[in-house]
Amino acid sequence: MFDRLLLLSPVLLFLPLVIPVPPPGNASPAPCRLCCDDLEPQEGPPAPQMGDQKSVLNQIPEVRTFINMTILKGDKGNRGDRGTPGKSGEEGAPGSRGPMGPKGTKGQAGPPGDPFKTQDAAFSVGRRKSLHSVDYYQALVFDTEFVNLHGHFDMFKGKFYCYVPGIYFFNVNIHTWNFKETYLHIMRNDKEQAIVYAQPSERSIMQSQSLMLPLELNDEVWVRLYKRERENAVYSDDVDVYITFNRYLIKPTLE
């Protein structure tokens, strides 16, 4: 028995905890003995023989291990790499409108814009030559230009072309011829608008006609001399201007 205890003693030295287990059955536990007890005479019942070794082994305490995990815990490791981002979740419902923020500061002034474009149209022309009627209608053509804004009056055709729709004022002044009739019309496109007329007389006179006309884009206004069903004429010379045609815009349609 002593030899077996010597074999088990190294294990017992390294085990932190020994739990005694009672022997099976009703056998009484053996008394605790020191390793030097065999040198002294034994008291009590005799030592067990070889046949009783099995019962002695059954009386050896059962050993159970217990490991304290706090002693085995190591140092904290390094932080691992960041994982890949996950998939986006479903879009949530829009939130309620927040309160109005404070008024911002005044911005810088912008670049200057284009100058204001006024709509205007005016002309004043004259004729220094006399004109007699022929077998067809004649447009009164003018040879002297006093004012012709934007060139809207065609000096070669004797016609004004409307590029700014609106209401216009027109005026025609002529000088009659002695003993001849004077018969002209102010025309809008191909329709007569007003007549300029003087009966034959021993004396020549100045005759005038004025009117206002509403014009649309590309309308034409001109003065027409009547054809030779009657002998009529207008007088002028190279010294003075006796015949004039004037026009200016009163109010454009679009402002």
pLDDT at 12: 45
DSSP letters, 110-153, are ----PPP-----EEEEEE-S-EE--SS-EE----EEEEEGGG-E
Rounded CA gap, 255 and 153, in Å?
Answer: 22
Indicate yes or no: pTM above 0.85. no
210: which 2 tokens? Answer: 């004025």
Q: What percent of the chain is modeled with pLDDT above 90?
A: 38
| Residue pair 204/178 in contact by the 8 Å Cβ criterion | yes
Q: How confident is the model at residue 114 (pLDDT cuts 50, 70, 90)?
A: low
Which of 85-99, 162-176, 209-223 has the weakest average pLDDT? 85-99
Q: What count of Cα atoms within 13 Å lies in the side-chain half-sphere of residue 28?
A: 3
Residue 252 has pLDDT above 50, yes or no: yes
- Spatial CB neighbours of 160, under 8 Å, sequence gap ≥ 6: 123, 152, 153, 154, 220, 221, 222, 247
Q: Which residue has the tokens 């815009």?
A: 249
